[in-house]
Structure 1
Amino acid sequence: MGLETVIKDIMDAAQAEVTMINADADAEVSQILDEARQNAKNIMGDRLAKAEDDIARLRQQETSSANLEVKRAMLNARKEVLDKVYNNAEESIVSLPEAKQEELLKAIIEQNEANGSKIYSNKDSEELVRKLSSLEYAGNINCIGGVVIENDDGTVRLDYTYDIILKNVNEQSLKQTSDILFG
C-alpha cells in the first residue's frame, strides 16, 4: 500500500467523521431550535392566557363598578323623590284650612289633655290652642303645628307636634311608600 492510499483512507475517514459531526451538529441545532420555538409558543400561550384573564377580570371589575354606580344613582334619585314626598306632605299639613287645623288640634287635645298640666304650640296656633285647652299655656315651640303637653314638673312631655307625627308615620311607612312609588 502506498502512502497515497493511506492518506486517502485517512482523508476519507476524516471526511466521513466531519460529515457525521456536521450531521450531528445540524440535528442538535435543529432540536435546540425546535425546543426554543416550542418554549416561545408556550410562553406566548401563557402570556396570552394571562392577558385574557386580566382583561376578563378588568372587564368584570368595570362592570361591577358601573353597576354599583348605577345603583347608587338610583338610590339617590329615589331618596330625592321620597324627600320631595315628605316635604309635600309637610307643606300640605301647613296649608290645611283653619277648620281642619282646629279639628285636628281639638282631637289631640281632648284625647291627651288629662295627661298633663301645661301645653305648648307654635305661634300661629297659640290663640286656637288657648281656646281649645283648659291647660296652662306654657309658650311657643318651633314646629309646623300640633301641641306638646307636659306635666307639672316637666318630667313627662307628650309630643303631638305634626313634625313628630309626620316623622313617625314616614319611618313606619317608608317601605310601603317606596313600593308604591317605585314598584
Structure 2
Amino acid sequence: MSLDTVVEDIRDEARARAEEIREQADAEADEIIADAEADAERIREERLAEADRQVEREREQTLSSAKLEAKQERLAARRDVLNDVRDGVESEIAAFEGERRRELTETLLDATVAEFDGKDVAVYTRAEDIELVEELCEERENVEVDGEVDCLGGVVGESDASRVRVNNTFDSVLAEVWDDELKGLSERLFDT
C-alpha cells in the first residue's frame, strides 16, 4: 500500500466521520428546534388560555357590577316612589277636616289621657288644631293644652307626675302603620 492510498483512506475515513458528526448534529439540532417549537406552542396555548380566563373574569366582574348598579338604581327608584306615596298620604292626613279630624283627634286624646291614670296631663298639638284640642280638653278632667308640636295632627301628652311622654300624633300612627304595611305596599306597587 502506498502512502497516497493510506492518506486517501484516512481522508475518506475523516470525511465519513465528519459526515456522521454533521448528520448527528443536524439530528440534534432538529430535535432541539422541535422541542423549542413544542415549548413555544405550549407557552402560547397557556398564555392564550390565561388571557381567555382573564377576559372571562373581567366580563363576569363587569356583568356583576352592572347588575349591582341596576339593582341599586331600581331600589333607589322604588324608594323614591315609596317616599312620594308617603308624602301623598301625609298631605291627605294633614288635610283631614271637620268631623273626621275631630273624631280621630278625640280618639288619640282619649288614648293619651288613659296612659296617665287620672294624673294632670299637658297636651301639645299642631298649631291649626289648638282650638279643637282645647275644646276636647274642656270635656275631660286634668287635661289642658300646653303648646304646639310640629305634627300632622293628634296629640303628645306629658305629666309632671310621670316621666312618660306619650306620642299619639297622626305622624306616629302613620309611622307604625307604614312600618307594618311597607312590605305589602311594596309588593302591591312593584309586583314583587
Q: TM-score range by the shorter chain?
A: over 0.9
Is 1:120 the counterpart of 2:128? The answer is: no
> What's the Cα RMSD here?
1.3
| SS of alignment partner, residue 155 of structure 1 | strand
Partner of 2:42: 42
Counting aligned pairs with the same residue, the percent is 37
> Could you give the per-residue CA deviations for residues 42-61 of structure 1, whole angstroms, max 9, x where no partner exists?
10011011101111111111
1:115–1:151 contact (8 Å) kept in structure 2: no
Partner of 1:140: 148
Is 1:157 the counterpart of 2:181? The answer is: no
Residues 1-183 of structure 1 aligned to structure 2 (within 5 Å): 1-116=1-116, 117-133=121-137, 134=140, 135-183=143-191
How far apart are residue 102 of structure 1 and its match? 1.0
Deviates more, 1:128-137 or 1:20-29: 128-137
Deviates more, 1:151-160 or 1:127-136: 151-160
Name stretches of at least 5 consecutive residues in structure 2 with no aligned partner: none
Q: Whole-Å Cα distance in 1 between the matches of residues 63 and 179 of structure 2?
A: 34
Name stretches of at least 5 consecutive residues in structure 1 with no aligned partner: none
How far apart are residue 109 of structure 1 and its match? 2.3
How far apart are residue 108 of structure 1 and its match? 2.0
| Change over 3 Å in CA distance of 1:34–1:110 after alignment to 2 | same
1:121–1:139 contact (8 Å) kept in structure 2: yes
Q: Whole-Å Cα distance in 2 between the matches of residues 164 and 178 of structure 1?
A: 20
Q: Whole-Å Cα distance in 2 between the matches of residues 70 and 16 of structure 1?
A: 79
> Could you give the per-residue CA deviations for residues 102-145 of structure 1, whole angstroms, max 9, x where no partner exists?
12112222344343422211110000011112311111111111
2:145 alignment partner AA: Y
Superposition TM-score, scaled by structure 1 size: 0.95
